[in-house]
Structure 1
């Protein structure tokens, strides 16, 4: 069907295309097991033909002329949704682990994260809603990819669970949080750490506060509007991270209260 991939299987062609470096190869046995694809037929138009295209079982004669343009789009969607399921399996996690060790997804821009490798994550499991983000296991924040090609990838192709399940399965990979001015050390330098850790790179919190200031809102009010990223596994918040975030939010509330006192005094 596609002249530029006659010598390649569809999946090999897809993975070798520019902008698809985040994806790993889904094993054919996994794709051919229809149990693993349960429910995807309701999310992908022309599901059967898209699946045949991915598995190289589609003949040109089987495709109507008016479908040729959209079938490739549906095949990409189907492969992406299968990929999100595959990477939370044991074999899928292992393949993504290799990419993580090579830092294929980039490194955290924050200075105190010491070039921590990132992992792709979706903000929703529903396609066509949010693009992929990159999660840092050290600062536990998310970032947008540097490349516009990667920034246009649908976040549903990686899902909300993947990076947190990887750290759960491979706990030795969890990066240490301690550093010379880490607030977890309890040495009273939480404010210095909060300033220093953002010396490079901006987060969604920073952007919300900046937008609030531009709209004439007080810094405290803008900070209250900032949304935090909450790691979840299959919809449930990760226990240890949840405990840490409760402590972090208590510290933030104290800082906001101090800002309010300064702004209204």
Structure 2
């Protein structure tokens, strides 16, 4: 198959896949879960070489054409990602993701006022091939692009839209609880010379924008 060396391939496909740069967000799925056909319901239609991909993941693939090797490997990666999205919303999967969260494996919120709050992976759609994975901050409740470029090619559907919220529902103590006074400090308030900006400033900006647009239309029509 498409590996860097025979030694690397001898690790077993799953160990090899999880060691790849860009696979850091994935947890190891229990083999019993992968082999349970009930957990794979509906995935056969999503993966080109479904059976061979499954055999590759479980290190039981014996017969394959060299010309199909790359396609089978890509199918295995895709299949693992789809199974992963289902697995991480099970009790076992959430527990494994908790260990990665404790290690801050998904990075920290880039927002200054979040004070390095650990992030959680999130898909903004469950449909594969639409968007890459995003990172969710449970403190400011916003989403961000991964810091590393290698993670920006990871499909968000491999983590799904429900994971962060099920994770925090399972471990509610991990979600920061801010008092009213803390919330005031937590939110940035724009000021000028020490004074809060009045809402009228936003109206003035809107008026200036509309005036500029009107002048541009007049110049274009003349």
Verify same fold: TM over 0.5. yes
Distance (whole Å) between structure 2 residues aligned to residue 43 and residue 177 of structure 1: 43
The answer (yes or no) to whether the contact 1:84–1:157 under 8 Å persists in 2 is yes
The answer (yes or no) to whether the contact 1:15–1:21 under 8 Å persists in 2 is yes
Distance (whole Å) between structure 1 residues aligned to residue 139 and residue 178 of structure 2: 6
2:49 is matched with which residue: 37, 42, 46? Answer: 46
1:263 is matched with which residue: 206, 209, 216? Answer: 206
Gapped regions of structure 2 (runs ≥ 5): 192-197, 209-222
Distance (whole Å) between structure 1 residues aligned to residue 123 and residue 89 of structure 2: 13
State the partner residue of 1:34.
37
The count of residues paired between Structure 1 and Structure 2 equals 199
For each residue in 1:30-60, what CA deviation from the matched residue of structure 2 results, as whole angstroms up to 9, or x when unmatched?
000000000000000010000000000001x
User: For the structure 1 residues 48 and 262, does the alpha-carbon distance in structure 2 shift closer, same or farther, using more than 3 Å as the test?
Assistant: closer
Instruction: Looking at secondary structure, tell me which structure has more helix per residue.
Output: 1
TM-score by length of 1: 0.69
Distance (whole Å) between structure 2 residues aligned to residue 21 and residue 179 of structure 1: 36
Q: CA RMSD, aligned part only? A: 2.3
- Structure 2 residue matching 1:142: 3-state secondary structure: strand
Gapped regions of structure 1 (runs ≥ 5): 184-188, 197-253
- Structure 1 residue matching 2:188: 3-state secondary structure: helix
The answer (yes or no) to whether the contact 1:182–1:193 under 8 Å persists in 2 is no
Distance (whole Å) between structure 1 residues aligned to residue 178 and residue 77 of structure 2: 38
**How many angstroms does 1:109 deviate by?**
1.1
User: For the structure 1 residues 146 and 86, does the alpha-carbon distance in structure 2 shift closer, same or farther, using more than 3 Å as the test?
Assistant: same
**Structure 1 residue 5 corresponds to structure 2 residue 8:** yes
